[in-house]
Structure 1
Amino acid sequence: MSIEKLSGKVFLLITGASQGIGRQIAETFSTLVGDGSHVLLLARNATGLKETVDKLRTDLKVDYASVDLSIATPQELKIFFLDIIKTSFGKANPADFQLAVIIHNAGSVGDVSKSTIDMTDIDYWRKYYDLNVFSPAILNGVFLELLNEKTNVEKLVINITSLCGIQEMKTLGYYCSGKAAREMFFKVFAAENPQINVLNYSPGPVETDMLRTICREAGDLEIKTSFNEMRDKNGVLSTEQTVNHLVEVLKAKKYKSGAHVDYFDEL
């Protein structure tokens, strides 16, 4: 996929779009897409979603829906995803779009106060993986089933991952394992679908609620100290910085589909 396709007629779906990186992706990408494009935003926080919508171009067709992905059953999720995507398409023919983009950004850091020995609550594990691993997998399948092989629409799948998906960090067991599982899912997906452009993008340390939670609640003193020192020394990125870099990564397209690309990697 060439970045120029983003300036055409695009169907753009973003999860976790009510704040932080997800909101910034919506703002930045909405300036790139062309006339007739559709934007669909998903997140838990309906108020935050509406605030994001208000920041986007008024000439775009923008839909949004709130859902708690951590408590819905798999069948409920599949039906919900089908309904909201079909509704957003409306009378439009998916084949009329030049590019379909899905950006899996929704997620949570989990309880960062516990060591792995203390992570024994199976219900907590299930809810965490429902939100961070299973929901993106189901949404990805539903989205691409609707854009089946009968259409010539190019497809771009972006998974917002983390350094924690490939590097262990003490008391971040939920987050590290969830990111690792999700990233591997999209690597397998890329291997199975070589015609689809897949990117696992690691945005670097970004000033978000997630980072602030680690700074405040990390159970390991070394981890807590290192994150706080990084913030104190202005070593944290803004959402705009990392999303602008994501666009540059897409422009350069030097990565192999499915690869993990970090903010600090050379283009």
Structure 2
Amino acid sequence: MSSPARTDLGRALCIITGSSRGFGRAIAREMSRLVKPGSALVLTARSVDDLRSLQAELAESEAGRAGVVVVCVVADVSQKEGLESIVRASQDAFSEDMDHVLLVNNAASLGDVSRYAKSFSDMAEVDSYLSLNVSSSLCLTASVLQTFPQRPGQRRTVINITSLCALQPFRSWVLYCTSKAAREMMFRVLAEEEPDLRVLSYSPGPLDTAMQTLARSRTADPSIRKSFSDMFAQGQLLTCEASCAKLMKLLLEDNYTTGAHIDIYDV
């Protein structure tokens, strides 16, 4: 028999990458509502203006009035200095009475979907993409786990924002599919190695975001491009808020198998 769902995420340190817009911004808003007073959100992205506007919004919200601290870190996660600045800010925001550390690996890019796999012969181009979308997730996760080791009375949760592309090939999406599949296996290995850690790969579904606009306009393969255009035309795209609510439900119920891939349509 499963235990009853929690009503909050605890007094938490929440680190969210790619939090300035889209799904990451929705996660920041929802987590700010679900953490206890005395919690801290470390929000990271490359866009300073979008981060600042989110910080101001949260400061004026009920969470801000309840004393939830919001820290913004303008950082490129594909660079060592960017990762180091996120970890430093997280250390500064952490207090000993926090009972939950959450890391949301959300930052990602679609890559060049206007070309097919056989065109990617430039190793530097591929390495640059994988640095942002794969290497950064492993290195940031490892750094956070080293900085906040397991201790009695404290939960640790690592969330990987994944995609159907981690499981199925999409023509002309070789970079994105490769990165999502690699990240998924990375976090499955982590779940095996760290039994005290809660690990979740959450697939938020087809979201109405700038990435979807890019997919509809730039995808080389006509059938893939048409499928995205049809979803948009038929109103089948999901809002970030609706998908984020399902993610929060999973985190509060906390009944998922650690390391699992869970799609929004399975919640």
Task: Tell whether 2:76 aligns with 1:83.
Answer: no
Q: Give the direction of change, closer, same or farther, for the CA distance of 1:130–1:245 in structure 2 (3 Å limit).
A: same
Q: State which of 45, 53, 56 in structure 2 corresponds to 1:54.
A: 56
The alignment-based identity, stated in percent, is: 34
What letter matches 1:160 in structure 2? I
The separation in 1 between residues aligned to 2:93 and 2:37, in whole angstroms, is 16
2:34 alignment partner, SS class: coil
Q: Note the C-alpha offset of 1:52.
A: 1.5
Alignment-derived partner of residue 76 in structure 2? 68
Alignment-derived partner of residue 180 in structure 1? 181
Q: Note the C-alpha offset of 1:82.
A: 3.2
Unaligned runs of 5+ in 1: none
The separation in 2 between residues aligned to 1:161 and 1:187, in whole angstroms, is 12
What letter matches 1:104 in structure 2? N
C-alpha contact (below 8 Å) 1:156/1:198 kept by paired residues: yes
Q: Give the direction of change, closer, same or farther, for the CA distance of 1:141–1:173 in structure 2 (3 Å limit).
A: same
Q: Deviations over 1:156-212 (max 9, x none)?
A: 111000000111000010000000001110010011111111100000000111111
Alignment-derived partner of residue 43 in structure 1? 45
The separation in 2 between residues aligned to 1:151 and 1:67, in whole angstroms, is 32
2:6 alignment partner, SS class: helix
What letter matches 1:80 in structure 2? S
Q: Note the C-alpha offset of 1:5.
A: 7.2
Task: Tell whether 2:33 aligns with 1:28.
Answer: no
TM-score, normalised relative to structure 2: 0.92
What letter matches 1:35 in structure 2? P
C-alpha contact (below 8 Å) 2:8/2:36 kept by paired residues: yes
Task: Tell whether 2:235 aligns with 1:227.
Answer: no
Q: Give the direction of change, closer, same or farther, for the CA distance of 1:244–1:181 in structure 2 (3 Å limit).
A: same
Q: Note the C-alpha offset of 1:99.
A: 0.9
Unaligned runs of 5+ in 2: none
The separation in 1 between residues aligned to 2:53 and 2:86, in whole angstroms, is 22
The separation in 2 between residues aligned to 1:173 and 1:246, in whole angstroms, is 27
Q: Note the C-alpha offset of 1:119.
A: 1.2
Q: Give the direction of change, closer, same or farther, for the CA distance of 1:128–1:254 in structure 2 (3 Å limit).
A: same
